[in-house]
Amino acid sequence: MRDLIYDENTIIKGHEMKHLAKIGLPTALFGTLIALEAAHGALLDQTRNLAVLNEGNINPKTYTLPSTPPNAAEFDFKLKGYVFGLRMIKANYTGWFDGTRYAAYSDIKTSGLGAMLKKLEIWAVSTGTYNRSGLTPKFHIQQNLNKKNRRVELNYDHAARKIDVAIQPPIGSQGLPPASPEERYSADDTVSALLNLMMRGQKIDGPMCSGSVRVFDSKQHYSLRMVQDGNKRIKYQGEKVETIRCLVYYEPISGFDPEDLPDSEESGTPIKMYMKSFPEIGLYVPVKFSYKISSIKATIKLDEMSIKRPAL
């Protein structure tokens, strides 16, 4: 299943279910708001799998996330996703950012739906720096927990302006044409891209839900083009709240095999993302996503959310 985080070829089977590739875009996100003024311990330290971050490393190096500083804004989002009205997806997105740095972790687990939606479990982590212009990742790790147990390691060399891409076991193709070294380097990884999207309008210059976020997922390079579509009151936490509706268009650039390219209907159908401002942590948080095309209808909702405001 395709999203800002994961590889569609490991989940989707059949031509029709290619439509589901887009519903994963938000599955690293969100829920019932619990403002934690004095939570015990850093939220990122409580996530699953970080204890085994360096098990199965491809490169001969040890990956270390920076410790959560006391002045960081912290978040922990839990998502539930529904396909055909059935709950099929559970996901988490947890992390922190201070004035210049960030670290984020995501995981996703899907239930099977016959030949259409395969059981899957993947986790990923990224860290780097940011400024008013955007994010600059340092490294990104993704670990699939299926039979292949595929691992992806992206290491960013900012002096040489390139990424070292390590994938084990290797994938069969890098697409036609493959993403160029510059395209790979200039794009966000999938976990960082999600934070980029939420920071716009508060921590990153420019209006929220505007412009595009370029993403490189270790093979495919694509753009998430965003267009504001007015305000919309939706149900959240049992009451109607004001949100900004953002249309997100998935636009392939390079690194795609011909059979993975969207058709005209897919290209013209955006994901509808409903974003609510949380000024206490400086983010616009999507509280709901919806996607409908042909006979496919999917909804992803923010189910639980914990936040820690920065220490003054």
Residue 17's pLDDT is what?
39
For the stretch 188-225, pLDDT in tens is 999 999 999 999 999 999 899 999 999 999 999 999 99
Question: What residues contact 60, with CB distance under 8 A and at least 6 apart?
Answer: none
pLDDT band at 113 (very low <50, low <70, confident <90, very high): low
3 found inside a domain:
no
1 found inside a domain:
no
Q: Which tokens sit at 253?
A: 């650039």
- The whole domain housing 58 covers 8-308
Residue 40's pLDDT is what?
44
Using alpha carbons, select from 263, 297, 299 the residue that is nearest to residue 25: 299
Torsion of CA 27, 90, 287, 3, to 10 degrees: 10
pLDDT of 237 strictly over 80: no
172 found inside a domain:
yes
CA dist 208 to 137, 257, 277, Å? 21, 32, 10
For the stretch 11-43, pLDDT in tens is 333 333 344 444 444 433 332 233 333 334 688
User: Which uninterrupted H or E stretch holds 190?
Assistant: helix 190-199
Using alpha carbons, select from 299, 220, 311, 309 the residue that is nearest to residue 29: 299
2 found inside a domain:
no
Let me know: does 103 contact 95? Beta carbons within 8 Å: yes
Q: What is the largest CA-CA distance in the chain?
A: 53
CA dist 10 to 1, 14, 21, 88, 286, Å? 7, 12, 11, 15, 26
230 found inside a domain:
yes
Residue 312's pLDDT is what?
64
Q: Which long-range contacts (CB under 8 A, 24 or more apart) does 156-160 make?
A: 156/128, 156/185
226 found inside a domain:
yes
Q: Give the chain's mean pLDDT.
A: 84
Residue 276's pLDDT is what?
93
Domains: count for the chain: 1
pLDDT band at 118 (very low <50, low <70, confident <90, very high): low
Which stretches of 145-200 are assigned E, i.e. beta strand? 151-157, 162-168
User: Which uninterrupted H or E stretch holds 296?
Assistant: strand 296-308
Compute the distance between CA of residue 214 and CA of residue 4 in angstroms, rounded to an integer. Answer: 10
For the stretch 37-87, pLDDT in tens is 333 468 898 888 899 999 999 999 999 999 999 999 999 999 888 877 777
Helix (H, G, I), strand (E, B) or coil at 217: coil
